[in-house]
Amino acid sequence: MQKNIHPKFDLRTKAACACGAVFEVGSTMTEIKIEICSQCHPFYTGNEKIMDTAGRVERFKKRHAATAKIKAKK
């Protein structure tokens, strides 16, 4: 490996989210600005909404229940 060509890795890089959360991460960048983090993302906060267009979720649940019944009979 060649020397002095790799960027410096810093374990105390500040990552700032648009929601106001600030935390330290490891990166080669000096400062990171992000739009969404684990404190404001709907999946992690429990506010996730399933977009059900044309009844796709219900059709999936119906098919899944039908296969479960077939497997239970065997």
Per-residue pLDDT at 4 exceeds 70: yes
Q: Binding site annotation covers 37?
A: yes
Residue 67 burial (CB count, 10 A)? 10
- The helix/strand count (H/E) of the chain reads as 2, 3
Q: Average pLDDT, stretch 12-24?
A: 92
Q: Binding site annotation covers 19?
A: yes
Alpha-carbon distance 11 to 33, whole Å?
Answer: 16
Give residue-wise pLDDT tens across range 20-73: 999 999 999 989 998 888 888 777 777 766 666 677 888 888 999 988 888 887
Q: Is pTM, for the whole model, over 0.75?
A: no
Return the CATH architecture of domain 10-73: Irregular (4.10)
Give the pLDDT confidence score for residue 27 in this predicted structure: 94
Give the pLDDT confidence score for residue 42 in this predicted structure: 73
Q: Binding site annotation covers 25?
A: no
Describe the strand order of the beta sheet including 31-34 as a list of residue ranges.
22-27, 10-17, 31-34
Give me Rg for the CA atoms of the chain: 23
Which one-letter amino acid corresponds to residue 74? K
Q: Binding site annotation covers 36?
A: no
